[in-house]
Amino acid sequence: MLKKGDVIEGVVEAFALPDCVGVIRHQNWVIFVPGVLPGEKCRVSIRKVKRNFLQGELNEFIHKSPARVDAVCSHFQMGCGGCSLQFMNYAEQISIKEKNALTTIEKIGKVDLSSIDYGGFISSVQCLSYRNKMEFNFGNKDGKLICGLRPKGKYWDLIDLQTCYLMNSQTVTGLLDFFRSYGNRYGLKGYDPVRKDGFLRNLLIRYNHSLDQYLIGLSTIKGDLPGVREMVKDLTHNFPNISGLVQIINNSLANALLFEQKILLYGSDYYIETIGSTRYKVSIDSFSQVNIHTGELLYPIIDDYVDLKPTESLFDLYSGNGSIGLYLSHQGNKVTGIEENSQAVDDARYNASLNSITSYNAICGRVEKVLLDGIGDSLKKGIVDPPRAGLTPKVIKTLVTAHPEKIVYVSCNTASLARDLAMFAENNFFLKRITWVDLFPQTPHYEAVALIEPS
């Protein structure tokens, strides 16, 4: 019987996601160890004893994996919550994610892998500097304002970042330094999530890849920012490609970035992004895929799976700003988007007008209610792109009752997708094709596109 403090030797057999820990088996125990890779032999101390597993800590390597690399970012070793996988090369990241994805749909989704058309696991175009959006937190240390990211699982802590390689590191470095200096010059305090006090909360950076411009959000509790005119003048002088600056009022006690009020300080609170031949309005507070290469990576797969014929119509559920539906509607197909976020619906309607697409209709409402009230048997082909939690049983029941020919399920959480695949299968709708796309390098996350059809 192993106990806390014991030291064992073992070989890492697997790598568990999303916790990003290696798996070692010893004396019928499963031991989870952070910072180790499959195939590595290491000496490990038992740190915690749980009922069904143990947690270990690396003492030393006996044999290292050839996939191990030095992290690009110095903050990685500090436990920064932005990245989890920088200690392995990108090919190993893809291999680990693909194994996790296939195992998940096989075990949770009860999918016979031999029965599906597997499209593979597609790598990102870039494994660094790929994000078009980052949210940083303000805080305090030794009487000074700091800005960075929280360590994983430690909402009260904050690592004062000098840069971030998930976006353009040079620009991020400059913006972090600029707003730290601004806050310290006026004695502004960062928000403390434990004490629930402080003024500056978040620095939001959004990147317009098409025009190489940045839209900045500065989140605060309610109150006036001091020296705004001078700050805007300095910001636009030092960063000529800033297209807008917005003060975001957030008085909520929650740690999330919430948009209770938006105050435009400079430029515009949105930008126009181009994906393929389609232009999109991206508001400071709207959802959009964070990988700048989403259009070339993800949308062609969705297009292929939906296989819209010229006269066919399409329902786009959880449609956001209409990005997928509008991308698919250029040949004149009628597309109906359903989305509960009113700002996203406004953006979708704006985007349809911007692209002179008259066949797109955006409906504001909860998917469950709109489906029940309006679809009936008119749904032949549909796209669902739900939040990480996946679909509710009510939505799945309504979808299968409409007897569609195809459902294309876009998911950023393969575990919830797998659960929903099992529920679809109970209603004689089965997974036929699936492709994964790595939209989130250096992290445990990835995107899936799945085609579901009736038997």
d(CA 277, CA 437): 21
Any idea which fold 133-274 has?
Answer: OB fold (Dihydrolipoamide Acetyltransferase, E2P) (2.40.50)
Give the pLDDT confidence of 294-344 residue by residue, as tens digits: 888 999 999 999 999 988 999 999 999 999 999 998 778 899 999 998 988
Q: DSSP characters for 303-352?
A: HHHH---TT--EEEES-TTSHHHHHH-TTS--EEEEES-HHHHHHHHHHH
On average, the pLDDT of the chain sits at 95
* Opening angle at CA 351, ends 348 and 353, nearest 5: 115
Structure tokens at 25: 């088996």
- Whether the predicted pLDDT of 353 surpasses 70: yes
Considering only the C-alpha atoms of the chain, give the largest distance between any 2 of them, rounded to a whole number of Å: 70
- Does the pLDDT at position 449 exceed 80? yes
Range list of β-strands (E), 188-312? 200-208, 213-220, 242-249, 261-267, 270-275, 278-283
pLDDT at 251 over 90: yes
Which residues, including other chains, have CB under 8 Å from residue 18's CB and lie 6 or more apart? 444, 445
Residue 307 CB coordination number (10 Å): 12
Mean pLDDT of 414-421: 98
Parallel, antiparallel or unpaired: strands 213-220 and 242-249: parallel
pLDDT at 264 over 70: yes
Element (H, E) at 416: helix 414-426
Query: Is residue 373 predicted with pLDDT exceeding 80?
Result: no
In this prediction, residue 288 has a pLDDT band, given cuts at 50, 70 and 90, of: confident
Among 141, 156, 165, 19, smallest CA distance to 82 is for 165
DSSP element (H, E) containing 61? strand 54-63
127 residue type, one letter: C
Rounded distance between C-alpha atoms, residue 12 and residue 32, angstroms: 9
Q: Which residue has the tokens 């059809």?
A: 453
**pLDDT the model gives residue 377:** 62
pLDDT value, residue 330: 72
CATH value of 95-126+288-454 in 3.40.50.150, 3.40.50.880, 3.40.605.10, 1.20.140.10: 3.40.50.150
H or E segment to which residue 397 belongs: helix 393-401
Digit-coded pLDDT (tens) for 83-133: 999 999 999 999 999 999 999 999 999 999 999 999 999 999 999 999 999
Identical topology for domains 7-63 and 95-126+288-454:
no
Which residue ranges make up each domain of the chain? 7-63, 95-126+288-454, 133-274
pLDDT at 56 over 90: yes
- Determine the pLDDT at residue 229: 97
Here the tokens at position 206 are: 């959004």
Whether the predicted pLDDT of 420 surpasses 80: yes
Report the share of the chain in percent with pLDDT over 90: 88
Q: How far is CA 85 from CA 20, 89, 387, in A?
A: 8, 8, 23
- Reply yes or no: is the peptide bond before residue 38 cis, omega within 30 of 0: no
Position of tokens 């999918």? 111
What is the pLDDT confidence band of residue 374, given thresholds at 50, 70 and 90?
A: low
Q: Which residues contact 432 (CB under 8 A, 6 or more apart)?
A: 116, 117, 451, 452, 453
Q: What integer pLDDT is reported at residue 287 of this predicted model?
A: 84
Count of Cβ atoms closer than 10 Å to residue 99 Cβ: 15
- Pick the most confident of 159-163, 252-256, 375-379: 159-163
Q: What's the rounded mean pLDDT across residues 446-453?
A: 98
**Residues 6+ positions from 20 with CB-CB distance below 8 Å:** 34, 84, 85, 444
Q: What is the pLDDT of residues 193-216, one digit of tens each?
A: 999 999 999 999 999 999 999 999
Q: If you search the block for the tokens 């996350």, which residue do you land on?
A: 445
- Output 255 or 128, whichever has higher pLDDT: 128
Q: What is the pTM of this model?
A: 0.93
Top CATH class of 7-63 equals mainly beta
Which pLDDT score, from 0 to 100, does residue 286 have? Answer: 86
For residue 376, what pLDDT is reported? 59
| pLDDT beyond 80 at 172 | yes
Q: Which structure tokens are listed for 345?
A: 């619906």
CA dist 424 and 301 (Å) reads: 21
When pLDDT is averaged across residues 396-420 and rounded to a whole number, the result is 95
Percent of the chain clearing pLDDT 70 (strictly above):
99
- Ranges of beta strands (E only) in 104-166 are 117-122, 133-141, 144-149, 159-160
